Structure formats: structure tokens, C-alpha cells
Amino acid sequence: MSGGGAWGDDDPTGRRQFADVGTLTLEARGALPDVTVAYETWGTLNEARDNAVLVLHALTGDSHVSGPAGSGHPTAGWWDALVGPGRALDTDRWFVVAPNVLGGCQGTTGPASPAPDGRAWGSRFPFITVRDQVTAEARLADRLGIDAWASVIGGSMGGMRVLEWAVTYPNRLRSAVVLASSAYATAEQIAWCEPQLLAVRADPNWAGGDYHEADGPGPVAGLGIARRIAHVTYRSELELAERFGREAQGDEQPIGGSGRYAVESYLDHHADKLRRRFDAGSYVVLTEAMNSHDVGRGRGGTSAALQRISCDLHVAAVDSDRLYPPRLSVEIVDGAPTARQLRTVSSPYGHDGFLIETSQVGEVVRDCLNGLDIRVSVR
């Protein structure tokens, strides 16, 4: 392990650390050598090592679940309201671990990382699947000495990985929370991803994926377009209508072509934010990994795969989610023998409700964790 262990430093809480997890044999083909996983921790691992909770981020998230922006953290914690003393993920009780996903760009091996020859992987970075990402996370658990998680929690792409954990390693988690996710990538989800991938690859600065060591900004224009497309699917039609309507942006005049509508300015803002902190190569790799998601592949289909789940499973859908509509959560609940009754997060914000409605999501997490008999950590 490099960069310090989870409990080997004076105060590792909320600080990015790194674990070397070796070579990963990949599901599709080949292997990825010398894999590093970046992660952060909060709280204390108890003597029994049974109070560890794994939190898995979505597509453009990272390991920084809680805390202010800082070194290695381009943004503040994306679920800050849920992690800390007295919060849903109470760090006086739980040892919370959040890794950056395999293929990412915030410390874990991805396209921008150096390959064995010292150059960025770029276009040579292999195709990875959600199962490969979970394999890397299982290796991290091994390095941390965690045989089984008290719970594994995640939404969207993180929820995909939660289900893969529950199906692939049923004996390594006691409970799980799946938020706004699915057992497989649907045709519509894949369809929305295609123009995003094309936008990035059509950028002249994409350079076939080998732009990392070239002069210039890289394919930030294509990444910005991809983000605009994606962000519309993350929100609801009603929210956009009520929030922006047909209003012009400030004093701009969209009629006549000399300005923008307010909703266009909103999408521009989110595109600018992402392209300042995220690697386009990782966006492509992770999007294709999400498209690969199918817990039933090679397991006799979705129903057979969900039957493998033995942990206490909590599933929540966002009622206005048009990207991961509630019917997909219903399929999980109906197929998994240990699933509790479906929870519904009421929100006008669409898919992003799992990130925004922290009070409702926190109740789902509390209900899951309160059902576990774990000795309180001693600081």
C-alpha cells in the first residue's frame, strides 16, 4: 500500500490515500497491470472490523464524499450532509470508505495514468466493465483487512456496483442500499450515451484518445457537449420548465441569435464545471463501462443473478427520474429474495434527486444501518 494506510496515519480522515491492488484480469479481455485505487476514509475501524461501510460514487463523482475542496479534491464532498457524527453515516459508529472508481481520473488508475512505459495509457487503456470495477474494490477491501462490509451503498453508476457486489460477493456484505439504479443498462440509457461518446470522439483535440501528453486543452469542447446532453437526462422536465421556462439569460437576446435562453446558460455552466475537473478519456471509459452493466450476463439472466443476493437489500427510486425510472427499481425488488419494500424519494429534480434529497436518502441509509448489530467504534 502506498500513500498511507486507512489507520496508519495520524489523521487520515477525509484525506485521499492510495492502495496498490496489483494486476487485474479483465472480464472482456486482457489484464490491467499495476492498478492503484485512490480512496478516503472517515471514522474508525473497530477491533472486530465489522463496522466498515463502502460508499460508491456515480459517473463523475470521486472518493471525496465529505469535506471541503482541497489538495486532490477539486470540489467539496458530494454527499457531505450524509457523512459525519450524528449523520446517516455516523462516523462515531461507522468506518466509511469511499474509493475512486477504476477508470476514473481522481487518483485511481485510468486513461490519464501512466502505463508501464511511463506514458499515459490514453487510447491503450483497456475496455473495463462494472464487474472489473468491483473486482478492484474487492482488492481494496483485502488491502484494508475488511473481509465483509456492514453495508455497500451507492446511487446511479454506484448503484450498479452495489448490485454487482451483492451478486458477485454475497458473503462479503451484510446489507446494501441501491439508489436510483438498475440491474442492467437499458436501451434508452445506452442510446443517451451514444451522442455523448460521439461528441467527445468528434472533438479534433481527442487525437484518438492520445491527447494527454499533447499541447493544447484536450477534447474539452466535446466533453462539454457530452455533459450538456447528460445533464438534461439527470433532471426532470417539470423542474426545467418551472425553473427556467422560456426566460432569456439576463440581458441576452436569444430571438435573433444574439443570446441564450436561461436553460442554455445553465447547461453551459455545468459543462464548464465538468471540463475543468474531469478527464474526457475517463468519461468515455466509464460511460462504456456503464453501458456494459448487466448483472445477468453469464449468470442465466437477470432473475437468476438477483436470486444470488443474500444480504439485507434496500432499494430506493426517485419518482421523477426519467433516466432510471422507478420500474427498474421495482424489477430489483421483485427479483431479489432479501429485498425490502421499495422506497420512493419524492423530488422534482429527476435522477439527481439521489444526490440532492439528502434528508430522504439519509432515512433510507439510517433504516438500513440501524438494522445491523455492530459494536460502536472506540476513538
What domains can you pick out in the chain, each with its CATH number?
17-184+295-370 (3.40.50.1820), 189-289 (1.10.1740.110)
Q: Write down the catalytic residue from 63, 66, 151, 156.
A: 156
Alpha helices in the chain (DSSP H): 130-144, 157-168, 187-202, 220-234, 237-243, 262-277, 280-291, 302-306, 326-335, 353-356, 358-370
Tell me the per-residue pLDDT of 304-340, one tens digit each, with 9 for 90 and over.
999 999 999 999 999 999 999 999 999 999 999 999 9
pLDDT at residue 8 tops 80: no
pLDDT at residue 374 tops 70: no
- Region 149-168: what's the mean pLDDT? 98
Percent of the chain with pLDDT over 90: 91
Q: What is the pLDDT of residue 6?
A: 32
- Region 230-259: what's the mean pLDDT? 96
Residues 6+ apart with CB under 8 A from 62: 38, 73, 74, 78, 100, 104, 106, 107
DSSP string, 290-317: HHT-BTTTTTTSHHHHHTT--SEEEEEE
| 57 within 8 A of 159, measured Cβ to Cβ | no
- Region 289-315: what's the mean pLDDT? 98
Is 156 annotated in the active site?
A: yes
pLDDT at residue 120 tops 90: yes
Q: Write down the catalytic residue from 321, 329, 347, 377.
A: 321
pLDDT at residue 12 tops 70: no
Is 321 annotated in the active site?
A: yes
Q: Note the Cα 318 to chain centre separation in Å.
A: 17
Tell me the per-residue pLDDT of 215-235, one tens digit each, with 9 for 90 and over.
889 999 999 999 999 999 999
Q: What is the average pLDDT value for the chain, to the nearest integer?
A: 94
Q: What is the pLDDT of residue 5?
A: 31
CA angle 168, 60, 264 (to 5 degrees): 140
Q: How far apart are CA 222 and CA 225, in angstroms?
A: 5
- Region 29-34: what's the mean pLDDT? 97
| 130 within 8 A of 99, measured Cβ to Cβ | no
Q: What is the pLDDT of residue 3?
A: 30
Place of cell 420512493: 344
pLDDT at residue 14 tops 80: no
pLDDT at residue 355 tops 80: yes
Tell me the per-residue pLDDT of 60-87, one tens digit each, with 9 for 90 and over.
999 999 999 877 788 899 999 999 999 9
Instruction: Please compute Rg for the chain using Cα positions.
Output: 20
Q: Model pTM greater than 0.85?
A: yes
Q: For residue 379, what pLDDT band results from cuts at 50, 70 and 90?
A: very low
Q: What is the pLDDT of residue 7?
A: 29
Q: Pick from 292, 302, 209, 284: which is nearest to 26 by CA?
A: 292
Q: Write down the catalytic residue from 132, 292, 351, 352.
A: 351
- Output the nine-digit C-alpha cell for 108: 485511481
Is 181 annotated in the active site?
A: no
Neighbouring-strand partners of residue 319: none
Tell me the per-residue pLDDT of 164-211, one tens digit each, with 9 for 90 and over.
999 999 999 999 999 999 999 999 999 999 999 999 999 999 999 999
Place of cell 432473475: 303
Q: For residue 291, what pLDDT band results from cuts at 50, 70 and 90?
A: very high
| 14 within 8 A of 40, measured Cβ to Cβ | yes
